[in-house]
Structure 1
Amino acid sequence: MIKLHGFALSNYYNKVKFALLEFGIPFEEVSVQPSQDETFLEHSPLGKVPFIVTEQGSLCESQAIIEYLAAAYPDKAIFSRDPWEAAKERELMTFVDVHLELTARNLYKQAFFGGTITDATKGRTEKLLIHHIRGFRRLASFTPYLRGERFSVADVAGFVSLPLVGMATQAIYGRDFLLDVGIDWKPYVKALNARPAAQRVTDDRKAYMDAQKKK
């Protein structure tokens, strides 16, 4: 049994969780927060979530976990069986994770957590994000999914991270950079939420947030 460690507010935790649920892979959730405790670092060397624990050992980084799942459960066809389509799915996931979300993460301190970021950070991030989002728009079709009419594993990444990019840019710059290039991510997320796995991720995230507010 795979044990998935993390917490329901983490988009990368939810990326892995969505994949596990969507493709019917049994797993157990273990609620943990990022930590620099030495025992935690034995599983996740940077003290981040998510990570999984298997009979073979521990594995961190969401994309590495997805790749492991695809190799360990070939019957699930997590990536397309067509090599070109599988490569295009990986390409989209790289754009979402690295070029969009990781860049937008520079804004989260002020956008979501009440902190302050410098004008230099805002300016640098704005230039990078606009450039990266324009590139992403050339790849993603949104008809209605990232690769077209068929749901793919690339949508696991899109579902959990595109809203963060849109909301963060709206909060910091007063406009949604995704909408600026014609990416209306709200209908996309709504369509994905019709899938039971996505709805479970959404419900668990909301429950986590409600519990934190009560504390």
Structure 2
Amino acid sequence: MNTLYHYALSPFCRKVRLSLAEKKIEVGLVEERYWERDPDFMRRNPAGKVPVLKMDGMTMSDSAAICEYLEEAYPTPNLLPRDPKARFEARRLVGWFDDKFYHEVTAMLTGERVNRKVMGTGYPDSSNVKAGAKAIKYHLDYMAFLLEDRRWLAGNDMTLADFAAAAQLSCLDYTSDVDWNRSEAVKDWYAKIKSRPAFRSILADEVPGFTPAAHYADLDF
């Protein structure tokens, strides 16, 4: 059995889960309290981070490396374009959401409002929450700009870039931190990707002590 060690509100774990599900690769989920640095988990990934995927006789870490492996080993359906220029754009946006969006938004909102309590690291830092609430407006506007002449974020076909973005936004949507009225184009894009079968297990996630927003699992918002 393939096994994914994950944390429910980790966007990086969600990105891998979406990729696995889209490629119809069955995997068992093991919730990992990675911040406790359990010795067995640290042996699986000395970096002490999730996700960690046990598959094909390997123990793999780092969401970007895992997704690249899945794309090469299981190319159907492809989540990265064949054309080099289009592939670059998809990879560029994966990097945007994994790095810039995560640090400016998800870490500031989900990280402060949920993860601090779950991990027992204190109370939310209000200055970080305010910074995240401000930054998400910029990112939603950038997504709206991309979608002006594209069906999906990186072009006319759905790619890993869409999963990287949806993984971040779905964590934020759990606590109702996304203003879906800011852009009809972004809302339509998310509704489209949220309705995919690959999203089902993610919409079923629940974090003890935190009730998801009423619309979280509603495919029609």
Give the structure-2-normalised TM-score: 0.72
Contact 2:22–2:198 (8 Å) recurs in 1? yes
2:98 alignment counterpart: 97
Contact 2:20–2:26 (8 Å) recurs in 1? yes
Matched, 1:25 2:25: yes
1:152 alignment counterpart: 159
Contact 2:44–2:59 (8 Å) recurs in 1? yes
1:161 to 155, 163, 168: 168
Structure 1, unaligned runs of 5 or more: none
C-alpha distance in structure 1 between counterparts of 2:37 and 2:74, whole Å: 32
Change over 3 Å in CA distance of 1:162–1:69 after alignment to 2 = same
Q: How does 1:5-84 map to 2 (within 5 A)?
A: 5-34=5-34, 35-84=36-85
C-alpha distance in structure 2 between counterparts of 1:133 and 1:190, whole Å: 15
C-alpha distance in structure 2 between counterparts of 1:202 and 1:127, whole Å: 26
Contact 1:80–1:86 (8 Å) recurs in 2? yes
Deviation string 1:137-193 (CA, Å, 9 cap, x unpaired) is: 55455854213442222211121212445788x86xxx95x866x475433222112
Change over 3 Å in CA distance of 1:112–1:33 after alignment to 2 = closer
2:213 alignment counterpart: none
State the AA in 1 paired with 2:160: V
Deviation string 1:82-138 (CA, Å, 9 cap, x unpaired) is: 22211111111111111112221133344445623153x467667766666665555
C-alpha distance in structure 2 between counterparts of 1:194 and 1:122, whole Å: 29
C-alpha distance in structure 1 between counterparts of 2:30 and 2:170, whole Å: 25
Contact 1:59–1:65 (8 Å) recurs in 2? yes
Report the identity percentage: 24
Contact 1:93–1:154 (8 Å) recurs in 2? yes
Change over 3 Å in CA distance of 1:20–1:50 after alignment to 2 = same
C-alpha distance in structure 1 between counterparts of 2:86 and 2:113, whole Å: 35
1:107 alignment counterpart: 109
1:2 alignment counterpart: 2
C-alpha distance in structure 2 between counterparts of 1:116 and 1:126, whole Å: 13
Higher helix share: 1
Change over 3 Å in CA distance of 1:60–1:73 after alignment to 2 = same
Change over 3 Å in CA distance of 1:124–1:66 after alignment to 2 = same
Q: How does 1:119-198 map to 2 (within 5 A)?
A: 119=127, 121=128, 138-141=145-148, 143-164=150-171, 176=179, 182=183, 185-198=186-199
Q: Please, what is the CA RMSD of the aligned residues?
A: 3.3
Return the offset for 1:60.
Answer: 1.3
